[in-house]
Amino acid sequence: MTPAQNDFLHRAYDAASQAGHIFAEMAACEAALESRYGTSELAAKDNNLFGMKQHQHPVYGTQVLPTREWLDGKWAAVNSSWIVYPDWKTCFADRMATLKRLAPAYPHYKNALAAASATTYVMEVSRTWSTDPAWVCSCGEIFLASADSASHIVSNPTHQSMLIPGEGRAEKVLAIYDAIAGNWSATETNSP
């Protein structure tokens, strides 16, 4: 992990903690994955660490940017409205509010919010968070060829194997979490 990545994780952890996130360390790791350690355009310019799209009733500013969405079984180029946050703390607080608001409609969010561990939280939230099919197989052939891939496959009643949606995303977040290995209080910084 680079010093810049380590610094990002500590600042994100501080912001998530200040926002009252239920698993601040894991939220910081999710933000690192989703924002490329704060270097994505949304993160750098708009403090949007999770790629949060604008709510139906906007509270914060809006930035319209092109993106790709997985729609009807294929990638489509679309312009989307993204939230512009005043700071990282607000971004983490809004993420928690979004998960709580959507929990009645998305069982995985409900399970994530009720999780007893950070690992369970990220596994559950990842199952619904993204439309990207690559999160299912964590970079396709490389993932499938790895020795660890057997742990990501479950048997269904017809004895066919299938990959768990969101498993690849969760594994990437957990890898970031493992890389910092509980060293969350090593740096005291202020979040943007």
- Ordered per-residue pLDDT tens for the chain, 192 residues: 899 999 999 999 999 999 999 999 999 999 998 999 999 999 999 999 999 999 988 999 999 988 877 677 777 788 888 999 999 999 999 999 999 999 999 999 999 999 999 889 988 888 876 555 554 433 333 333 333 333 333 333 343 334 555 677 778 888 888 887 666 554 444 445
Query: Model-level pTM?
Result: 0.77
User: What single DSSP character describes residue 53?
Assistant: B
Q: Phi and psi dihedrals of 84, rounded to 5?
A: -105, 115
CA distance 123 to 163: 13
